[in-house]
A and B are shown apart, each in its own frame.
Chain A
Amino acid sequence: MLDIKNLHAAVEGNAILKGINLTVKPGEVHAIMGPNGSGKSSLASVLAGRESYEVTEGSVDFLGKDLLDMSPEVRAREGLFLAFQYPVEIPGVSNINFLKTAVNEIRAYHGQPPMQAKAFLDMLKSKQKLMEFDANLMNRSLNEGFSGGEKKRNDIFQMAMLEPKLAIMDETDSGLDIDALRIVSAGVNKLRSKDNAFIMITHYQRLLEYIVPDFVHVLYNGRIVKSGTKELALELEEKGYDWLKEDIRLEEPVQ
């Protein structure tokens, strides 16, 4: 589904990603962990197509197409979803109007007619129920005045509505209390299937207790320095990241 090869990226001339290799197959859940500033959120931004990031080397194949060649909206229409670390507030754009526009633009891209109002509302209701999402938030402006937890839940709700093939969750667990974390995780688990895949970017192992990953990768200094299964996450929780840094220093050639 996703094939990242030797991906290098920079912001304002500073190299942030320095050769990422990662393959994600349908049905898989990958966790990407790492200390602050290691490039985790940058990877999410590069995959979603944020313009301030410049890809300097490497390739990304998404469902057989060149992802890097697509505009952000085309990536979304192809089925790539980013749950934002900091979802923006957009006063004056109602949540519901925004979702309807997004759903129909994605449908149009796939040659489908726009959804009828009734069908859209039915879908809205069923997904609200599935995601335990407060219907009152639907009529408000997009994320405006939402609490941190409400914004994250709104993002997951949007994920349910847009039914992406690959969802990248950028520190979705940060700023969530334990109840919100449980609801968000339950939502993600409900959406998991053999046809879609998830990349969970997180700083803590906590989220991975709720959403069990198939693979865990450690990102450090713009590179994936270690990969393993869910046990790696436990090891990281226990020992921190410092032991890894030590290892890496030893591995780096003396200059």
Chain B
Amino acid sequence: MSAEQDILQELAGREYEFGFETQIEMDIAAPGLNEDTIRFISAKKQEPEWLLEWRLKGFQLFQKLTMPNWQNFKLPEVDFQGVSYYAAPKNKVKYNSLDEVDPELLRTFEKLGIPLEEQKMLSGVAVDAVFDSISVATTFKAQLHELGIIFCSFGEAVQEYPELVKKYLGTVVPQSDNIYAALNSAVFSDGSFVYIPKGVRCPMELSTYFRINAKNTGQFERTLIIADDSSYVSYLEGCTAPMRDENQLHAAVVELIAMDHAEIKYSTVQNWYPGDKDGKGGIYNFVTKRGICKGKNSKISWTQVETGSAITWKYPGVILQGDNSIGEFYSVAVTANKQVADTGTKMVHIGKNTKSRIISKGISAGHGHNTYRGLVKVGPNATNARNFTQCDSLLIGDRCGAHTFPYIESKNNTAMVEHEATTSKIGEDQVFYLNQRGIDNEQAVNMIVNGYAKEVLNQLPMEFAVEAQKLLSITLEGSVG
């Protein structure tokens, strides 16, 4: 048996580090989806009438909409009636302080590397921790409050800042956008809400950590970030789930709104449970993320490192409405074993002098399939629109696949759009060169892959860049080509 096969075997045996389950008493809604489920969730969260109405409208749309058929993978049958749409640790609907939180829960987050006591935390990062359907804790709230920054769970925002929520909810991703967005708007549980006031530069990274724990549930969180005139915020989300044989659904919606001169940087390190080596279990990560550069000179930048999930299916996009606005998308997606990723972005140029930049790095190993799907659309009034897209695929092993579907539509003759794509494998000569300098295969592949992904990893806040590099290494462990 060759060394390569040895390593491949080792890969097959690797453990998902975050696959444990927290034993805690849960308050779980009975499986099933109907109007009563929605009323139940809304009541549990003590929501105002208008939000219940909004949810019910989402449910109606969900019933009308059909599953898309353009994706480059076999869409699994999802039994929407077999899933429970609300799961929360018992006793509390809302925690007023960390003292009220079950110590088992705090230990869970600590085990995940996310301690919620502020003194233990990475300085400069505020965290909102979401456990199944509810937010457990939000750190550094008081400090942020002094600057007028609102950073809290979505549920809390509905109670405390209903006007803001009402004004912006569903304005970027309409409820009717797609069937999963409609589903989310009907049953969304918790998530984060951020408002940065005019002229404020948020002094720390804001971050949400999502954890699916309960069996037979899905997670349907909603995040809404509003950056008012001349403000800045950098936001990061991370996520994990226990190892289970059955698939679980994660259908989130994220909406970003940047006003004049505002900038939002949104980074994702996605590490949901990917399923085992035979493709059993794992999360279906079907997410709708979109930002709008509403104001002039605004900027929205998406960075994503996608290493987990059985299927990742999402296209974080930017609507470039304000003149001179900028949209960016930086992505590394890794698929190993039998993972599938169909991801990319939509850049819609509406305003004048708008610019977009897309850097996508796909890495396919094992039987993994990686698809880049993107849309660059230049409207008739988007004078001097500019787009540059670089979309590269790296293949490791001969049973994986890399696919590229870029849609480019231009209705303006002053637009300049450039798309480049390459596909390659890890060069034997590169590995040999490193071997010859005393570096083993494993390490060599890590180095090459990290080098390949560097342009994207560089976009992440420092602490998370290191984390993301580690994740890449773990995901690809042993996949030497």
Q: Do chains A and B touch in the complex (CB under 8 A)?
A: no
Binding site for A on B (CB under 8 A): none
Binding site for B on A (CB under 8 A): none
